[in-house]
Structure 1
């Protein structure tokens, strides 16, 4: 039987690839994003290419009532959700106190933390009652360290990974799993939207294709965490991160994220 995935942030970067992978395997989709026009275009393409059923829900996930609307729309239409893929999220470069606005960072917390938490709170009881279901939370390797000049973003991903791991344990023996996908720097719209295009951190960003596939397969297996898409220098750094003196690590991350550091 075809599995239906609800995917947030469906028409940008990693979300586009996740949707394509699921549809190419005969899976149906419920696409969630802010722009109905973009959702309609994506849905039409997936229906034509893969012959699957695709529904759309336009929602601003920075608003709690809009997150609730996603669930109530699913229930009102009698749609069944087998996989919940919390992909929507964004970052943004800048000094927390002097450059980042209150609205920017509060909206980031709402989308990166509150939205996936609310969606899981709504959908997990249904999964548990049914005795099956899979959740993929798109976190980041940023979860493993503080991120000066992206202070709030890194902290949201630390929350997402910690919370996902705790749920993985709580849900043992229910038939439901939660997987955290932890990519490195990727070539997506996230880079330009966050003002990160000219930073050293994203100078060698990788394609989202391999990351999406690794995350999707890990979700199917019910893995705890999966790290994917690390450019060459990030692999040893991530492996040794816990051994570096904290202040030296903070200096390194800071320098990687200074505007113009890519040159």
Structure 2
């Protein structure tokens, strides 16, 4: 489309997965590129493809391990020396380890991951955001995750780093709200990349229902260009997981997420639990419809709605308490209990329309 000829996007983790798909979208839109990653050969090949297929004018490849000390400062210095103005920063690079934190994972590797996911991402954000604010122009996309708002046993350090990125991003959005600079948090579900293999994980239950990285990148790109504060790519079931994270007991969430990270030969199941799609997704759809309807109500109907919503809140609180009690009485049946609860919540929300 060549809509943004002359502008430059810097993408970390650009050699594969979501980062590569995002780089392709920027190239299609006429951006010049700064591609950052550990595989210089892959990035060079990608550069040739973009120049050939999309006529990309300028591509700077930076071969860098972002878990190294001063990686962010070195990238910034190289960009400055090349005389490049970065209009869009995409902090896509990230990594994880897999296993029990106390006995199975390696601290040196976890320290590298914290450096990559937190320190390098934060400094890149600070360096380029300062320039963007000075110009009063720019966009930043931060790779958070749906696990930024949930426990994630067996990948605990990864989830903690993503919670940091999520919180940092939302705080900075408030700080720059009076400027023309925007930031967007990308919160994907499990995506079909090499993420789990690089983390040292065996084949996991969660890998039965992974999203396409091209779809994730497309949704992320649209949200970034609109200046949205966050984006959860995919359908309603992914968005339902965020809602569930806010209303569910943490112990229940942790047990469910642990189940998804169980090796397939140990899980005793072949597919992701149905509660994700059926129970809570229905509640979310009803909730979205409620918000839309509420915005079009007259004052009298709004007052009536608030009364019904208050009753619904009491019901929902009771249902969540019920789930917590059931969990303490019989933890082994928690997932089944929450499936019933999700359906009950969906019916309760639907009753507001009655």
Q: CA deviation at 1:206?
A: 1.4
Higher relative contact order (CA 8 A, sep 6+): 1
Residue 158 of structure 2 corresponds to which residue in structure 1?
153
Give the Cα–Cα distance (whole angstroms) in 2 for the partners of residues 203 and 152 of structure 1. Answer: 23
In structure 1, the residue corresponding to 2:185 is in which secondary structure?
strand
Structure 1: state its 5+ residue gaps. Answer: none
Q: CA deviation at 1:193?
A: 1.2
1:140 to 145, 170, 181: 145
Residue 35 of structure 1 corresponds to which residue in structure 2?
39
Distance verdict in 2 for CA 1:81–1:168, change over 3 Å:
same
CA RMSD of superposed structures (Å): 1.6
Distance verdict in 2 for CA 1:231–1:148, change over 3 Å:
farther
Alignment of 1:1-263 (within 5 A): 1-52=5-56, 53-196=58-201, 198-229=203-234, 232=237, 234-260=238-264, 261=267, 263=270
Bigger helix fraction:
2
Q: CA deviation at 1:235?
A: 4.6
Residue 302 of structure 2 corresponds to which residue in structure 1?
none
Q: CA deviation at 1:92?
A: 2.4
Q: CA deviation at 1:229?
A: 3.1
Give the Cα–Cα distance (whole angstroms) in 1 for the partners of residues 241 and 181 of structure 2. Answer: 33
* More divergent stretch after superposition (237-246 vs 22-31): 237-246
How does the TM-score come out when normalised to structure 2?
0.71
Preserved contact between residue 148 and residue 160 of structure 2 (Cα < 8 Å): yes
* More divergent stretch after superposition (196-205 vs 139-148): 196-205
Q: CA deviation at 1:125?
A: 1.3
Give the Cα–Cα distance (whole angstroms) in 1 for the partners of residues 182 and 91 of structure 2. Answer: 14
Residue 303 of structure 2 corresponds to which residue in structure 1?
none
Q: CA deviation at 1:134?
A: 0.4
Preserved contact between residue 60 and residue 67 of structure 1 (Cα < 8 Å): no
Preserved contact between residue 232 and residue 239 of structure 2 (Cα < 8 Å): no
Aligned length: 262
Q: CA deviation at 1:131?
A: 1.0
Give the Cα–Cα distance (whole angstroms) in 2 for the partners of residues 231 and 142 of structure 1. Answer: 16
Give the Cα–Cα distance (whole angstroms) in 1 for the partners of residues 27 and 75 of structure 2. Answer: 20
* More divergent stretch after superposition (212-221 vs 239-248): 239-248
Give the Cα–Cα distance (whole angstroms) in 1 for the partners of residues 19 and 153 of structure 2. Answer: 26
Q: CA deviation at 1:242?
A: 2.2
Distance verdict in 2 for CA 1:177–1:235, change over 3 Å:
closer
In structure 2, the residue corresponding to 1:136 is in which secondary structure?
strand
Preserved contact between residue 196 and residue 202 of structure 1 (Cα < 8 Å): no
Q: CA deviation at 1:88?
A: 0.2
Bigger strand fraction:
1
In structure 1, the residue corresponding to 2:47 is in which secondary structure?
helix
Preserved contact between residue 139 and residue 183 of structure 2 (Cα < 8 Å): yes
